[in-house]
């Protein structure tokens, strides 16, 4: 007599487990499924169901083990591979996920779902170029699926392949409606290619959609849209005028919406103002140890350490958490509040919810004023919402912020300027200065990196965001420099290997001398290079200072926003009447001596000639490096003075508002 088929009973047990899971009895459901899997280890369906229960219960490694067993039994079943890939990614076994999904790609040719998941796994391992190609393959297999093309466009943009990203997003547009973020990205990429005015009408249309959401009270959606516009339309183009043109299309609407939202809110009880200096909350958007956050930490620590500080600073972070930031703030004695870490509600925390929570927290902390740090998204809405009695903005890059609810505007500027008029608006200036530009000496590590580069006699270097490397004149200067210096290797670092940089150097025949080194420890690489090539029209800022702190020459254009242009031009050209500063600059750089030690130039050819001179003349290179190091130590290496000025400016604004 044949044995009874056990599967009907197995399916009944699985169905009961699903009912238990839906009713919240998750552990009971999981144990039932795992028991079934143990009894039926040769049944792929049972293994897949048990793995699904484990994955939903948060047991991702157990799930991966069960899915792997199912795959071994039925390697022809696409869903088994997909489940395995999801579980491996969920359990952070990214390399194993890549290996498994590569195997699945071979066995299940043309499966777009497998390709899409493999691309995600590549992204999680940092293999972004492979991810972009794999997303493209998935889109090619499903050309009518707009989402596939959007994913490909986003991945291509992430690796700096702008023209290919435009083509992918245009294919998505032809296949179906684009989500807001993808449309913002497409507008930004087209503006990078053609200029702002060529695509102003499409920007106006998408801004109208965002402001329509504001009118309907959909504040979270609109603030997410503003973040997408800022990331994909504003930031990729390093230009004060571009930032102003973009923000001018929506900042008034954000301000009006914030004021309308504020009118519907109940007052929050505020803690009594403490005796002594006022509490001031400095707000950064995302936790990290990027340059603008490091600068803020240096200034706040210097204010706290000063003998008689005019303000008591606190730091607030709107999104993400970063143990390195938390540890650094604690070490420096800076009170830190990270919204996501303290949010009690659970689930996704949307922008308007963050602002409302922060409004309450600031009142509880007795904060008299807030200072938004450098990023413009949410600022106009939040200032009108009234997070604190006084609102200020501290710009470290561009200055497109303008609102009647923002009482103080502060900007990082040159070493000697006190104020600047930008687009008809007055900005108080504080100089840039960092507490630890050099970091520890790491000669052995630096030498090892030079070995990996092929032990070149000269290493030229640039460390910057890809947006700063887009200028045609600067790219021409780098290409000409490498032609003039065939013995040199040029290393460039940043978040992505930008296609324009790569293709331009290839067209100029110097690609073999170029090395993209990725997202690196900039203080270490400052010790690797011999000569730092500053970007234009906006200079590199912190990374250039780190190199100069080690005595590395900085070659720069005279443009107003390069490192030397911003710091030295106003004094040298007489726009600042400061005889002592002028004498100091002339002394450090031997200006007018016939052997000036300031390596700044006007044309790409001059740029290449200057680098060639520095390569050929060891003594000149050492003297130029020493002059830059002296200036850096004197003006960029001690934040105490800059922090004192920042605190005084903030206190002046608070006192001015209190007196009204």
Average pLDDT over residues 162-186: 95
Provide the Cα torsion 207, 208, 210, 212; round to 10°: 170
- The phi and psi torsions of 81 (rounded to 5 degrees) equal -65, -40
Q: Report the run of H or E that residue 639 belongs to, with start and end.
A: helix 639-658
CB atoms within 10 A of CB 456: 17
Q: What is d(CA 127, CA 99) in angstroms, rounded to the nearest whole number?
A: 13
Question: Which among 288, 312, 308, 290 is positioned nearest to 300, based on CA atoms?
Answer: 312
Give the residue among 316, 356, 392, 361 at the shortest CA–CA distance from 219: 356
Task: Give mean pLDDT, residues 252-265.
Answer: 98
Burial call 506-544: b when 16+ CB within 10 Å, e when fewer: eebebeebbbebeeeebbebbbbbbbbbbbbbbbbbbbb
Q: Which residues contact 522 (CB under 8 A, 6 or more apart)?
A: 463, 493, 542, 543, 546
CB 66 within 8 A of CB 54: yes
pTM: predicted TM-score of the whole model, two decimal places: 0.85
List beta partners, residue 413.
431
Q: How confident is the model at residue 2 (pLDDT cuts 50, 70, 90)?
A: very low
Tell me: the pLDDT tens digits for 293-315?
999 999 999 999 999 999 999 99
- What percent of the chain stands above pLDDT 70? 98
SS3 content of the chain, % helix, strand, coil (to 5): 60, 10, 30
Q: Which two tokens stand for residue 340?
A: 């996501």
Average pLDDT over residues 8-13: 85
* Model pLDDT for residues 584-637, shown as the tens digit of each residue: 999 999 998 989 999 999 999 999 999 999 999 999 999 999 999 999 999 888
Q: What percent of the chain has pLDDT over 90?
A: 78
Cis peptide before 537 (omega within 30 of 0): yes
The pLDDT of residue 1: 40
Cα–Cα distances (Å) from 597 to 551, 586, 614, in that order, read: 12, 10, 11
For range 239-252, the mean pLDDT: 96
What's the pLDDT band for 207 if we cut at 50, 70, 90? very high
- Name beta bridge partners: 561: 538
- Whether the CB-CB separation of 428 and 419 falls below 8 Å is answered with yes
pLDDT tens digits, 547-584: 999 999 999 999 988 988 888 888 888 888 888 888 99
Digit-coded pLDDT (tens) for 42-91: 999 999 999 999 999 999 999 999 999 999 999 998 999 999 999 999 99
């Amino acid at each position: 007599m044949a044995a009874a088929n056990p599967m009907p009973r197995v399916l009944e047990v699985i169905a009961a487990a699903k009912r238990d899971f839906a009713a919240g009895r998750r552990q009971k459901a999981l144990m039932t499924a795992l028991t079934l899997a143990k009894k039926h280890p040769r049944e792929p369906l049972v293994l897949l169901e048990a793995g699904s229960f484990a994955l939903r219960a948060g047991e991702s490694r157990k799930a991966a083990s069960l899915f792997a067993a199912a795959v071994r039994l039925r390697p022809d079943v696409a869903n088994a591979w997909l489940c395995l890939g999801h579980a491996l990614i969920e359990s952070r076994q990214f390399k194993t996920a890549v290996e498994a999904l590569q195997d699945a790609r071979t066995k299940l040719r043309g499966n777009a779902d497998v390709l899409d998941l493999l691309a995600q796994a590549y992204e999680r391992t940092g293999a972004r170029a492979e991810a972009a190609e794999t997303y493209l393959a998935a889109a090619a297999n499903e050309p009518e699926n707009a989402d596939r093309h959007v994913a490909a466009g986003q991945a291509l943009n992430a690796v700096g392949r702008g023209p290919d990203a435009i083509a992918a997003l245009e294919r998505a547009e032809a296949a179906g409606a684009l989500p807001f973020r993808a449309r913002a990205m497409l507008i930004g990429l087209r503006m990078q290619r053609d200029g702002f005015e060529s695509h102003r009408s499409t920007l106006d249309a998408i801004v109208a959609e965002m402001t329509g959401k504001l009118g309907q009270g959909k504040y979270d959606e609109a603030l997410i849209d503003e973040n997408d516009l800022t990331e994909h339309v504003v930031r990729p183009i390093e230009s004060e005028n571009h930032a102003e043109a973009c923000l001018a299309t929506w900042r008034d609407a954000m301000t009006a919406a914030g004021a309308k939202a504020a009118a519907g809110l109940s007052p929050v009880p505020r803690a009594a103002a403490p005796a002594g200096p006022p509490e001031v909350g400095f707000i950064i958007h995302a936790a990290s140890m990027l340059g603008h956050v490091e600068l803020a930490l240096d200034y706040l620590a210097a204010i706290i350490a000063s003998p008689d500080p005019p303000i008591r600073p606190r730091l607030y972070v709107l999104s993400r958490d970063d143990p390195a930031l938390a540890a650094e703030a604690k070490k420096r004695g800076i009170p830190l509040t990270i919204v996501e870490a303290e949010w009690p509600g659970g689930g996704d925390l949307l922008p308007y919810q963050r602002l409302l929570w922060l409004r309450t927290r600031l009142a509880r902390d007795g904060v008299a004023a807030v200072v938004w740090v450098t990023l413009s998204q949410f600022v106009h809405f939040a200032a009108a919402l009234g997070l604190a009695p006084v609102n200020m903005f501290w710009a470290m890059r561009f200055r497109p912020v303008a609102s009647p609810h923002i009482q103080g505007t502060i900007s990082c500027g040159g070493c000697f300027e006190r104020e600047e008029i930008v687009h008809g608006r007055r900005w108080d200036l504080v100089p840039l200065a960092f507490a630890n530009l050099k970091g520890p000496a790491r000669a052995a590590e630096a030498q090892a990196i030079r070995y990996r580069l092929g032990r070149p006699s000269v290493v030229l270097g640039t460390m910057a965001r890809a947006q700063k490397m887009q200028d045609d004149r600067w790219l021409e200067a780098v290409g000409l420099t490498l032609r003039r210096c065939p013995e040199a290797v040029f290393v460039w670092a940043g978040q992505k290997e930008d296609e324009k940089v790569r293709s331009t150097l290839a067209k100029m025949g110097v690609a073999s001398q170029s090395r993209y080194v990725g997202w690196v420890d900039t203080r270490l690489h400052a010790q690797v290079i011999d000569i730092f090539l500053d970007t234009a029209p906006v200079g590199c800022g912190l990374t250039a200072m780190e190199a100069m702190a080690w005595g590395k020459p900085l070659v720069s254009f005279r443009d107003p926003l390069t490192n030397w242009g911003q710091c030295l031009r106003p004094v040298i050209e007489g726009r600042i009447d400061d005889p002592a500063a002028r004498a100091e600059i002339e002394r450090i750089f031997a200006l007018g001596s016939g052997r000036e030690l300031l390596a700044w130039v006007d044309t790409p050819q001059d740029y290449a000639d200057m680098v060639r001179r520095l390569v050929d003349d060891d003594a000149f290179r050492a003297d130029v490096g020493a002059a830059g190091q002296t200036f850096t130590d004197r003006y960029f290496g001690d934040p105490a003075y800059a922090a004192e000025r920042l605190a005084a400016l903030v206190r002046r604004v608070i006192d001015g508002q209190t007196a009204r």
